[in-house]
Amino acid sequence: MANTILVGAQWGDEGKGKIIDVLTGNADIVVRSQGGNNAGHTVIHGGKKYVLHLIPSGILRPGKICVIGNGVVIDPVALVREIDGLRELGVRIGKNLLISDCAHLVLPYHRALDEQRELRKGHVKIGTTKRGIGPAYGDKAARTGLRIADLMQPELFTKKLRMKMRENNSILKALGARPISFAQVNADFLAAGERLRSFVANTVVYLHEALQHGKEILFEGAQGTFLDIDHGTYPYVTSSNTTAGGACTGTGVPPHRVDRVLAGAPLETVSLKPKRSEVSAERLYVNQKISDLVAKAETEQADYRRVDANGKAKPINVFFGPEKYFGSAHFSVLVFNTAVLAFFSCGTLGLLHLSLRRQLQTKA
């Protein structure tokens, strides 16, 4: 299958779970590289429905190794709950799951801050899930966040948490919110940390060793291209890089080890409820443009080329056929290689952004 990144071509909810489930069969390792438990996939496998938020969907297939990478922000309590829920459904979780020791933690004060900030935005609120993802990434960027590695050292974690709780409770009090109990959070997180200890590893080293042994890796993207913090419809975005480049920084795997990028794109207008009319116009316009691009490529049966290790050009097909591959008339899967990675990895189409702005200006 080669090393493959799957991203959503739009604002998420493109049905990537169905595509991921198909691709997982040919992968050795499935990696999640960004986001938190504000995203995930719903997969129907073996007649059962599984809702996954943090754990890669490869966990549903025997013999697959699942990795939660360094770019993910993790609520340990929620992750333990997700593991327990999957086990109740008969899913085996043991040595087939690895968690990066460098992944940052989502704590209760992140959720409280997320909620308070959203409330104060009034009618221009972003529509956050209020699960603390943005504030957790904020702490990471500010270099004040706590990581899984800290949680594995109880005394150090308690010391750092006490300082962070004092600081954030002051902020919450100023915002008119209730302070959070340090003792309760500390006890809950240390207990969750012990449950997760056997899964924690240096996943960057693990993935590089896997590459050296010829293992094939599937990078399971969450959300969609236009939710990218840099290239999306800012500020109506998430707090991480949802494009192909985020898969590299979120796992430690370099770009030259990626063979292709897949983008899931529904061929219909997604019925979302944006907060502002211009965002609705963007969505309608871009959805139509993506559909046009798909139709054009189907007509031309386009081929892209890549260069193998010996410098020889090799053709790679851009294949479609939603009904044949995924049983749905609303999907088309675009296969790209590293030579054209930027096409979907920089906000899905820089040209569309330019064209979009001109279109909106004309309408105005």
Q: Are residues 9 and 270 in contact, defined by beta-carbon separation less than 8 angstroms? A: no
Cis peptide bond upstream of 135, omega within 30: no
Q: Is 41 a catalytic residue?
A: yes
β-strands 260-266, 29-32 pairing = unpaired
The residue to which tokens 């139509």 are assigned: 288
Among residues 13, 101, 188, 230, the one annotated as catalytic is 13
Distance, in Å, from the CA atom of 168 to the CA atom of 181, rounded to the nearest integer, reads: 11
Among residues 21, 28, 41, 84, the one annotated as catalytic is 41
The residue to which tokens 């935005």 are assigned: 121
Q: Is 75 a catalytic residue?
A: no
Structure tokens of 159?
């010391």
Distance, in Å, from the CA atom of 310 to the CA atom of 198, rounded to the nearest integer, reads: 41
* 3-41 b/e (C-beta count within 10 Å ≥ 16 → b): bbbbbbbbbbbbbbbbbbbebbeebbbbbbbbbbbbbbb
Say how many CA atoms lie within 13 Å of 170 toward its Cβ: 5
Known catalytic residues are 13, 41
